[in-house]
Amino acid sequence: MKRIISYNVNGIRAALRKGLIDWLKEVNPDIVCLQEIKAQNEQIPVFDFVEAGYINFWFPAKRKGYSGVAILTKTEPDKMVYGMGIEKYDDEGRFLRADYGDISVVSVYFPSGSSGDERQAFKIQWLADFQKYINELKKSHPNLILAGDYNICHEAIDIHDPIRNAKVSGFLPEERKWMTQFLNSGFTDSFRYFNNEPNNYTWWSYRANARARNLGWRIDYEMISNTLVKKLKRALILPEVKHSDHCPVLLEIDF
């Protein structure tokens, strides 16, 4: 069985200062997919991760202090693929894939559209391009675990105030519709497979004491190909873990 964690760390260096390595040693996941590392390779203390038992792979954005993804793994992957082969997304370090036999684990960081119309348009374009890319990838790699920050709440249950946020990026009708059709294209939301309870969130604003009051959004997912559902053991959100404005999500699966 493998324990796979996905975690938007909102800056790897900041998360390390808040005790990320000690937490990793304690929880001891097999694979960790990180998003928003906000660091260049030379700024990352890779030895700290090696010492914790992880082979580590980093795919930073070209722009300093921005975006970027990583995969930490106990087992050497058969193959690593950096990016999607689409320059405008790869320059932002949004997609990193590790192949283990017939299963592929991806750390993915969807764009946010919250800074304005231009980035929202970029996000909508990404959604179309990502779906197209995954449709093609599935032909050669049908067993996918797509772990990351999707920057979308799918249903009203996934956000603390669906009425007020109905016209806010991350909960727009077209984004939610995309998520529905993405799941319908052959994926399962591993957390919702086990848990249909409200008030389960993975991100909280730093404003208005939102985390203490649990006024959150569920935007971090470990989506799995439907072919893997029978191998699922457990999926959890870990809101008590606080190295970031996000919390980690955990998946346990046979492979």
Which residues are catalytically annotated?
Answer: 149
Token couple for 238: 């870990």
At position 200, the amino acid (one-letter code) is N
Q: Please answer whether residues 244 and 9 qualify as being in contact, where contact means their C-beta atoms are separated by less than 8 angstroms.
A: yes
Q: What share of the chain is helix, strand, coil (3-state, %, to 5)?
A: 30, 30, 40
Q: Please answer whether residues 212 and 252 qualify as being in contact, where contact means their C-beta atoms are separated by less than 8 angstroms.
A: no
H or E element in which residue 187 lies: strand 187-189
At position 197, the amino acid (one-letter code) is E
Token couple for 214: 């649990």
